Every structure is written in C-alpha cells, then in structure tokens.
Structure 1
Amino acid sequence: MNILAQEVIELPYSTDSEVKWHTEEKEFYSEIWETQVVTNVSVPRLEIYKANNPNGTSVIIAPGGGLYGLSIESEGRQVARWLNDRGITAFVLKYRLVPTGVDGIKEITDESVNNPAKIGERVKPVLPLSIADGLAAITYVRTNASDMQLDPKKIGFMGFSAGGAVTMGVTFNYTLADRPDFIVPVYPWMTVVGDYEVPENAPPMLVVCATDDPLQLAKPSAALYMAWLENDKNAGMHMYSKGGHGFGMKTQGLASDDWIAQFYSWTLTEGLTTISSN
C-alpha cells in the first residue's frame, strides 16, 4: 500500500472471469524499466490523492505497462501529486493485469523480442476486465463526489500507453452514469483497442504523443484526434517531435517534458478546472 495515498479503496468487480491469477500482486523497482512497478493486479483498487484546496476537478489516472504491469510512479503517483498542487484531486487506478510470474516486466520484455504475438493473446481476455475497472472507478468518484468536495461533472480520465487503451475502452463503452467528462490518452496503445466509433456525446479529448515513439503509436494517436475532429467533437493534440515512449513524468530535457503543464493549460482553456487559491 502506498503510504502517500490518503486512502486506498477496492472497486467492485465480477469474479466470473476465466482469467485466473496464481502469483500475488507485487510492487517493486524494475531494473529493466528503471522505475517502480506493480504486477499481478487481480483486485482493482483506487489510490486516492486529495488536494489540500480542492477546486472540484478530479482525474482518474491509469498507468501504462503493456497490461503486464503498471508504471505506478512515473505514470501514476507523480502525476497525482502534480495535479494535487493545482487543486485537482487524483485517483491512481490499479486495474487488473495479465497474470504473470514474479517478474511480469521481464516476461513482456522477453516476449516482445521472441514472441510478440503471445502478448496479444495474453492481453485479449484481460483488457475487458481493465476497462470494466476504469468504468467502476468513474462510478465510484461520481457517487462519492459530494463527500470529497468534487464536481460530478468534472471527472477526467487520463491513461498512458496500455492505460491509454483502458481510457479509450472506457470512452467507447460508457453509459450516462459512468461517462468521463474529459479524457487524456497519452501515447495510447490503440492497436489493442481495435476498430472504434466516436460516441455521439464524446467527451472533450486531449491526445499526447511523440512522433518518434518506438512502438509507432504516433499515427494511431493522430488518427484518434482526426476521428474526433471529423465528427465535430472537441479535441486537442500535442504531438512532440521527440519524446520516445513512456516518458510520463520523466525529465528528458525535451519539449515533451512540459506535456502535463500543457494539459493543465488545456483544462483551464476548456473550463474543466479553475486555478486553485493556496
């Protein structure tokens, strides 16, 4: 459990899935990814980070990790703390992941070289569960909004890479009750999402990616932006020439380092948040 989260709550989930976990959830520092990770999430949970002076806006954050793990710091808790400083309450979502051995990061790294098709096979039955966890997170925040001094009409959903796939899965499967009020897919893994149609009442969207993403996510990210544009939906995009993949809150000395400040400016422009008085 992360001691910096004020609270960690378990989300409701269905247990009738054929996916079974045999290794306990584990948080550790991955030498391969050079960051803190979580693997083998079988029970979805929300880590709650309340702003000292909440302005009513909240963001649910879905870290990336190929659905084999969660880059919990760089694409989760660090984002939450940054948002907290600006009055935005944040929720880091631990969504269900592919069941792996003790080191899921090593598994996906090895498979990406030796058997890439296997990744798709293992992810396919799990992604619907991860998306269901994302929808459950929105329901929780909206249901408890008044208790947390939050506006139930200013709930955003931000996801990185595989978390971006969860973000878009949420966007393509919501009902009125669990619709996100704005979405921020950051270098989203769109190929795993498959074909999609822009919802009739699609939420405002800001896409973030880098042209030099080694996983070739720039084109599908641009296509996602164009889909919103062609359907007359509110959309913005920051496509950085350099940044690579998985930059999250890392400092690289590149323009992409400022993506989160650009996101914040966008929320102010769109009236999705307000400047918090400290």
Structure 2
Amino acid sequence: MKNTLHKSLLLFSGLFFATSYAQEHKVIKLWQDSIPNAIENPEYKEVQTLKDSALWSVEKVTEPTLTLFKPQKPNGTAVIICPGGGYHHLAINKEGFKVAKWLNTLGVTAFVLKYRLPDDAIMKDKRIGPLQDVQRSIRYVRQNANQWKIDTNKIGVLGFSAGGHLAATLSTQYNKETYKTEDSTTARPDFSILVYPVISMKDSITHKGSRKYLLGDKPTKETVAFYSNETQVNSETPKTILIHATDDKSVPAENSLQYYIALKEHGVSAEMHLYEKGGHGFGMGRNSTHPWVKACEQWLKSSKYLTTNKN
C-alpha cells in the first residue's frame, strides 16, 4: 500500500511539474508527424528524475522537444542547448534550463533540446538519431525565426559533454542528409559553444560510455573516425569557443585541444579557455558562477551576437 501511494505521489508530482512548466515555457514537439528513423516500442517509456520538485534529468527519450525560453528584450540571437549525460541520460536542469535562463539575461532566445538518446530499441540507426533531432532543431528555429524576433544568421548551438559531441557533430555534419527535408533551410549553426565536450571517439581520449551508447561495443575504424569530430572539420565549420578543465578525468582536455587545432588549421575562428581545475560536469559553476560564463559572454559580445536587434 505504501509503495503504491509513493508511486502515485511521484506520478502526480511529475505531472504537476510538467503542467506548470509547460505553462511557463512553451514546449515544442520537434517532429509534427512521424519521427524519422524511429521504431515503435510501446514498452519503451521516458524516465524523468525530479529533485526538489524540479525536473533534473531524463532518460529513454522517444518524443524529442524544444523548450523555449524567451528573454524580455530579445536581441536577435538564438541558441539551441544540448545537455550532456553520456548519451545515456540528459542533465536537462544543470546543463539545460539553468543555462537557458542565463542566456535570457543576455537577451538571447534559448531552446533546450530534449533529444533522443541512441538506442537500438527505438532506432533503426542509433548513430544518427540525436543528429537528426539537432539538425531539425536548427531548421525549425530558422524557419520560425520571425515569430521570436530571431536573426536567421545568429542561431548557434551550445553543448555540454556528450551534448558537446552532438553540437560538434552538427557543426561538422550539418549538411549530412539524415532525413528528408521539405525545403533547403540549412542546419548549419552560425556559432558553437562547446563546454567540456566529447569530441573524439578514438580510444586514447574518448569518453568510453558516450562511445558505447552511440556506436556500440565494437565500432569499425571507419565509424570511429567518422564520429571523431576533429577529423571532420573544414573551412565551413562554424566559429567556436571551447571550455575545458585540465583535471577533467572523464573527458580529457585533449578533446577540446584537438578540435581547436583542427579549427585553427582550417582557418576557422576559434577561442579556447582551459582551466587548471574544475573536473567534469561543472555546468554554470558548482558553488558560484564559473569564470567560463563571463568569458563566453565576452566572446558573444566580440562576435557581435549580443548587439541590439534592430528588427
């Protein structure tokens, strides 16, 4: 009886949070009709973790969404946020909602992407599932830019950890055809913000969990190379700011270093902030605001993404 009551209370609190949150911030279904590459699996249900009555993390995503955070005075810039979680779950509060609220203070319109996590149980090809969702996100925001006072040339992507791998994959493979598109709207982000990102799938520096969930237990050398984003950079890759900590034991800083070197070699504008300490997963800052937040704000300013929207 107690277990049944406990489960009922958890279900009610989850429904209450989802309802109240949807009222405050618009939740947009990413795919209006059928979801490409999807396998119907009625047994596969989304799992949400709440902390202090707030949505903290999400697993087993089958219905990808964008949660819109609108600033009081939009400046024309928009950012799609990809939370991390090793391609196993999404740290959607720490690396999603909190980041969106910070971006709003800068006048940036933010969208938190709840993307599908790679799983053979719900995808025909799990390697492209997350990329399909983030490509669709950029196109959707670009196609609907007018209603949110967004400049179509100022739409960026921000990713943490495995979400950083997804953001970097988008930045290097935005023109890969992963689903049938209705028009020629580009999925290329105008800029990338990568925070302690997984960049490479190579044994020496990758995050093993992220690689396993995305590529499986025994990926081929060709697959590993293709999803190692430092090997996919070209002159059209968007300008990028990279954030990492030297003492990151989960995702070595060499991930950011190799991506930075590749960007530099191809003449792409790049900035990197490598901190001595911080470990992994520090988000906006564990005890107070992390220095990268101010550094990123300055980079956005110098890149002309925080200027007043004249539309």
Task: Say whether the fold is shared (TM-score over 0.5).
Answer: yes
**Match runs of 1:204-223 below 5 Å:** 204-223=239-258
Query: In 1, are the aligned partners of 2:38 and 2:123 still within 8 Å (CA)?
Result: no
Once structures 1 and 2 are overlaid, which stretch shifts more, 208-217 or 156-165? 208-217
Once structures 1 and 2 are overlaid, which stretch shifts more, 18-27 or 91-100? 18-27
Task: Report the AA paired with residue 194 of structure 1.
Answer: S
2:165 is the counterpart of 1:144: no
Give a deviation string over 1:28-59, Cα, whole Å, max 9, x none.
Answer: 1379xxx8111111121100001111000111
Task: Report the AA paired with residue 29 of structure 2.
Answer: E
2:159 is the counterpart of 1:132: no
Q: 2:276 aligns with which of 241, 250, 258?
A: 241
**Match runs of 1:64-79 below 5 Å:** 64-79=84-99
Give a deviation string over 1:109-151, Cα, whole Å, max 9, x none.
Answer: xxxxxxxxxxxxx999534110111110000110011111010
Distance 1:66 1:218, change over 3 A: same
Query: In 2, are the aligned partners of 1:37 and 1:73 still within 8 Å (CA)?
Result: yes
2:175 is the counterpart of 1:180: no
Give the match's secondary structure for 2:261: helix
CA distance, structure 2, for counterparts of residue 269 and residue 229 of structure 1: 18
Give a deviation string over 1:189-211, Cα, whole Å, max 9, x none.
Answer: 12333252213322110011111
2:8 is the counterpart of 1:8: no
Task: Report the AA paired with residue 193 of structure 2.
Answer: V
Shift of 1:171: 1.1
Distance 1:247 1:21, change over 3 A: farther
Task: Report the AA paired with residue 148 of structure 1.
Answer: W
TM-score, normalized by length of structure 1? Answer: 0.82
CA distance, structure 1, for counterparts of residue 134 and residue 37 of structure 2: 18
TM-score, normalized by length of structure 2? Answer: 0.74
CA distance, structure 2, for counterparts of residue 94 and residue 185 of structure 1: 17
Query: In 2, are the aligned partners of 1:40 and 1:100 still within 8 Å (CA)?
Result: no
CA distance, structure 1, for counterparts of residue 307 and residue 38 of structure 2: 41
Query: In 2, are the aligned partners of 1:50 and 1:84 still within 8 Å (CA)?
Result: yes
**Match runs of 1:12-91 below 5 Å:** 12=31, 14-17=35-38, 22-29=43-50, 36-91=56-111
Distance 1:206 1:21, change over 3 A: farther
Tell me how many residue pairs correspond in the alignment: 251
CA distance, structure 1, for counterparts of residue 234 and residue 42 of structure 2: 34
CA distance, structure 2, for counterparts of residue 4 and residue 242 of structure 1: 39
Aligned to 1:266: 299
CA distance, structure 1, for counterparts of residue 261 and residue 168 of structure 2: 15
Give the match's secondary structure for 1:172: helix
CA distance, structure 2, for counterparts of residue 248 and residue 19 of structure 1: 34
CA distance, structure 1, for counterparts of residue 158 and residue 71 of structure 2: 17
Structure with higher Rg: it is 2
Shift of 1:272: 1.9
> What's the C-alpha RMSD, in Å, of the aligned pairs?
2.7
CA distance, structure 2, for counterparts of residue 46 and residue 177 of structure 1: 18
Q: 2:233 aligns with which of 198, 201, 204?
A: 198
